[in-house]
């Protein structure tokens, strides 16, 4: 099957060859008869027809060369050039027998024009046949071979890149599966066990009216101490929420594509204010006094990815304050959205619950590292360090790309903003 030629290339080809042919006729050979111009026009027509029927033109041009030579026309040399160019193009574009047949036809045309010189000029005739018909055939085959080699090399590179990507995806999937397995077998199992035991204790405690249970967790009349009940209820609720988050995280790690972020987002913009209030309330139950300055309306402008980062920063910052500042300490939380859409989060504690001579403790785990990585992932910056007897945490998250700074988001509560799968996976 002959290739389909590009129309633009065909037009350029015809005009270039036509210009060369006219220049040869007008400036070099300067024919005077109508037959000369007729043969030149016929050659040009066959050249134009070769843009669509290349093999037919390659067979017709040698016949035209023989006819022009037999009539004594001047543009025989120009027609030989046209025939050689057409043969070269056929050899470049068409593999198989057709270029060989066309080369044989052109060689026979050269032989027919020089038949009267045989046998005396046999070496000269054979040489001319080889130059006119053999060189375009071999050169075209060489160009076609180079193109085929380049195409195969490109295919091999593409295939190798696809295989490398598949190996990388398989390695990531295996790593996620291993992490998910450890989370399920170790963390989730123990959290589930603790939630179950707290639930059992909550139901058993009100009936323990005498004995050791009454002395430890009940009032004088045998009823459960309300403070103990509140603690157990809080532990049970926190453990159940943590278990639900762990199960969702395990599902995302095992198969990220199976979790629809829009159908069940980890955090939607409308739920950020509620989630922050829950964190503040939970920190207060741990003995930390928290003063929060949060504008709920401004939080609706924060997209899902940055909203999740803000929530994790507040959780980690208040958890560290409750852990290191001691019971009775005071913390100040501020979440602000600037006019350009940037989000600024600050958490400060006074360290009032720590003995006076104890130094300000630094972060002992991976929480600060995780916060810094999360902020850097979103293009922001984080500062954390001692401030007097307390600790200061400050983070700034720039506006999301394409976000209008002066137009608040109109997303309905519970609807998540679009976020890429890579961002969602990294934030988890």
pLDDT in tens, 25-54: 777 767 667 777 787 778 778 877 777 788
Average pLDDT over residues 110-133: 83
Cα dist from 350 to 166, 218, 279, 360, 392, whole Å: 52, 35, 19, 10, 9
pLDDT in tens, 71-86: 877 777 778 888 888 8
Average pLDDT over residues 385-411: 68
Q: What is the distance between the alpha carbons of residues 308 and 116, in angstroms, rounded to a whole number?
A: 93
Paired tokens of 268: 């939607």
Give the list of residues 6+ apart from residue 293 with CB closer than 8 angstroms, or none: 332, 333, 334, 335, 336
Give the list of residues 6+ apart from residue 166 with CB closer than 8 angstroms, or none: none
pLDDT for 413 equals 36
pLDDT for 214 equals 42
Asked if residue 159 has pLDDT above 90, the reply is: yes
Q: What is the distance between the alpha carbons of residues 32 and 241, in angstroms, rounded to a whole number?
A: 100
pLDDT category of residue 253 using cuts at 50, 70 and 90: low
Average pLDDT over residues 157-162: 93
Q: What is the dihedral of CA 151, 154, 158, 161, to 10 degrees?
A: 160
Asked if residue 420 has pLDDT above 70, the reply is: no
pLDDT for 410 equals 36
Q: What is the distance between the alpha carbons of residues 129 and 236, in angstroms, rounded to a whole number?
A: 96
Average pLDDT over residues 162-182: 81
Total Cβ atoms within 10 A of residue 260: 9
User: Looking at 147-151, 161-165, 322-326, which range is the least confident one?
Assistant: 322-326
| Structural domains present in the chain | 267-354+363-428 (3.30.565.10)
Q: Which of residues 17 and 268 earns the better pLDDT score?
A: 17
pLDDT for 346 equals 92
């Amino acid at each position: 099957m002959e290739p389909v030629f590009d129309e633009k290339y065909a037009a350029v080809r015809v005009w270039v060859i036509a210009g060369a042919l006219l220049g040869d006729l007008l400036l070099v050979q300067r024919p005077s008869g109508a037959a000369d111009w007729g043969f030149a026009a016929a050659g040009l027509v066959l050249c134009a027809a070769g843009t669509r029927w290349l093999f037919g033109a390659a067979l017709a041009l040698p016949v035209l060369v023989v006819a022009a030579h037999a009539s004594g026309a001047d543009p025989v040399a120009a027609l030989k050039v046209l025939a050689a160019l057409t043969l070269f193009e056929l050899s470049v574009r068409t593999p198989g027998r057709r270029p060989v047949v066309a080369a044989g036809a052109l060689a026979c045309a050269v032989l027919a024009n020089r038949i009267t010189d045989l046998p005396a000029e046999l070496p000269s005739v054979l040489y001319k046949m080889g130059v006119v018909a053999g060189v375009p055939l071999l050169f075209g085959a060489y160009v076609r071979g180079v193109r085929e080699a380049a195409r195969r090399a490109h295919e091999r590179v593409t295939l190798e890149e696809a295989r490398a990507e598949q190996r990388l995806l398989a390695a990531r999937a295996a790593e996620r599966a291993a992490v998910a397995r450890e989370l399920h077998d170790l963390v989730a199992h123990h959290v589930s066990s603790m939630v179950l035991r707290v639930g059992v204790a909550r139901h058993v405690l009100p009936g323990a009216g005498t004995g050791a249970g009454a002395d430890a967790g009940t009032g004088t009349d045998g009823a459960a101490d309300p403070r103990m009940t509140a603690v157990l209820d809080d532990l049970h609720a926190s453990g159940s929420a943590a278990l639900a988050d762990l199960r969702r995280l395990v599902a995302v790690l095992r198969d990220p594509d199976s979790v629809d972020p829009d159908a069940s987002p980890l955090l939607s913009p409308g739920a950020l204010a509620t989630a922050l209030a829950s964190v503040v309330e939970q920190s207060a139950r741990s003995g930390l006094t928290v003063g929060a300055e949060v504008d709920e309306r401004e939080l609706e402008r924060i997209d899902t990815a940055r909203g999740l980062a803000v929530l994790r920063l507040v959780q980690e910052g208040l958890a560290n304050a409750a852990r290191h500042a001691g019971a009775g300490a005071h913390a100040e939380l501020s979440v602000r959205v600037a006019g350009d859409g940037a989000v600024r989060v600050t958490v400060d504690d006074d360290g009032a619950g720590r003995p006076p001579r104890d130094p300000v403790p630094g972060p002992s785990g991976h929480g600060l590292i995780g916060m810094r990585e999360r902020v850097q992932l979103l293009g922001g910056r984080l500062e954390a360090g001692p401030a007097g007897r307390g600790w200061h945490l400050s983070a700034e998250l720039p506006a999301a790309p394409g976000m209008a700074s002066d137009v608040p988001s109109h997303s309905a509560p519970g609807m998540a903003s679009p976020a890429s799968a890579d961002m969602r996976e990294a934030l988890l």
